[in-house]
Every structure is written in structure tokens, then in C-alpha cells.
Amino acid sequence: MILLIAGLLGFLSVALGAYADHGLQHTVSAADLKSFMTAIKYHQLHTIALVAIGLARFASPKLASSRILLIASLVFFAAIFLFSFSIYTAVIFSLPSLKYLAPFGGTLFMIGWLSLAFAGWQLKKT
């Protein structure tokens, strides 16, 4: 399921990047375009992290049963949604107040990475 979600998120990141590059850049301010591109960058980076988690869980029975890896993937998904999609929506629909959700997503990105580190630490102990 993680790989399915990661594949869809990857597709969306490329589609939104193309939209930003070919259409959005002529309709929004430079600051909004920069925010949008930052959202794409974080979206793509963390989608790759989700792919890595999904592949690791698929490749190893020990990793497949790791709850902390599942938690890390869920946190990354929530972070992408809160950070990137709040910025996308704010820019596309001119709703700047939605950008206030982005710091919550950024915090979740950090929690996701700490969860991944904790999973590595736990696996090293066993």
C-alpha cells in the first residue's frame, strides 16, 4: 500500500511541477511561485523516502512487521499533505491563510525522519 501511495504522490508531484512551470508562473507572484516550487521539492523528496520505506518493508519480513516504519510512512504522508498541499491550494486558489498549515507539515517531516532513525536504531538492537 505504501508503494501505491508513493506512486500516486510521485505522479502528482511531476504533474504539479509541470503545471507550475508551464502555466502557473505567468499567473502568480514570484514569491508564490517560489513557495509552490519549495512545496514540490519537499513533496518529491519525501515521496522518495516513502518509496524507500515501502521497498524495505516489501523486501524483508523483519522490516515488514516494523510498526515504526509504518508510522514513519504515515507521518511522511501527513507531512506532504499538510506542507505541500496546503501551499499548492493556497497558491492556486489564492487562499494565503492556508499557508499557515505548512509549519505543521514541516514539523511532521522532522518527526518522520526521527521515526525512521528510531526504526534504524531498533533494528540495529535486534
Query: Residues of the chain with pLDDT > 90: what percent?
Result: 83
Number of domains in the chain: 1
In tens, the pLDDT along 75-96 reads: 999 999 999 999 999 999 999 9
C-beta separation of 54 from 63 below 8 A: no
Domain boundaries, position 85: 2-125
Which of 66-75, 80-89, 97-106 is the least confident region? 66-75
Q: Is the pTM of this model over 0.75?
A: yes
> Between vectors from CA 106 to CA 65 and to CA 30, what angle results, nearest 5°?
135
